[in-house]
Amino acid sequence: MKGFRYINHTADVHSQSWGRTLEEAFSQSALSLMAVITPNLKKISSSIQKTLKIKAEDKEALLFDFLSEFLFIFDVEELVFKEIKVDYIKKINDFYELKAFLLGEVFNKKKHEIGTEVKAITYSFISIDESEDRVIIDIVFDI
C-alpha cells in the first residue's frame, strides 16, 4: 500500500509517492529522492540515526521543506538514508509540524551507486491528493 515510482518528464525527475497516510506518503517521497541520489537503497547501512523536525504554514510547504532538508544534509554532511519514517504530521495553531526518524550512513562512492544530482525541489509542481484510505504525492526534482 506504500511506494513510489517515477513518471516520464522532459528534463527533470517526476516522482509519485503514495501511502495509506500522509506520513507514509511523505516518507515515500523522501525515499524516492534518496533513490535518485543513490539508486540502490539496500546498499546503505543503518549506522547513523537522525531526527528531523520541520514546521511550515501548509502541507505543501512542509513537504518542500522536508525534502529540501535531505538535499541540505546530503550536501553538508554527505549522508544518505535507507529508512525514513515520518512519526507524525499535525497542525499546531497556524502551522503544520512533522517529526521524522532517519537511518543511514555517509555516502561512499566505492560502496553506493552514484545516481543523479538533484539541484532542488520544485515547489510549483507539488500535489498532495488525500482521500480516506490513500494519499498520493506528486513532486518534481530539478536535476
> Across the strands, what pairs with 16?
5, 138
Asked if residues 136 and 25 have their Cβ atoms less than 8 Å apart, the reply is: yes
Which CATH number describes the domain made up of 3-142?
3.55.10.10
CA count, 13 A, side-chain hemisphere, 101 = 5
pLDDT at 139: 97
Mean pLDDT of all residues in 103-117: 97
Spatial CB neighbours of 65, under 8 Å, sequence gap ≥ 6: 54, 56
Count of Cβ atoms closer than 10 Å to residue 92 Cβ: 8
What would the pLDDT profile of 63-87 be if each residue is shown by its tens digit? 999 999 999 999 999 999 999 999 9
Asked if residues 136 and 129 have their Cβ atoms less than 8 Å apart, the reply is: yes
pLDDT at 88: 98
Mean pLDDT of the chain: 96
- In angstroms, the CA 74 to CA 82 distance is 13
Asked if residues 64 and 78 have their Cβ atoms less than 8 Å apart, the reply is: no
Asked if residues 104 and 82 have their Cβ atoms less than 8 Å apart, the reply is: yes
Per DSSP, 114 falls in state: P
pLDDT band for position 15 (cuts 50, 70, 90): very high
pLDDT band for position 10 (cuts 50, 70, 90): confident
pTM metric for this prediction: 0.96
Domain boundaries, the chain: 3-142
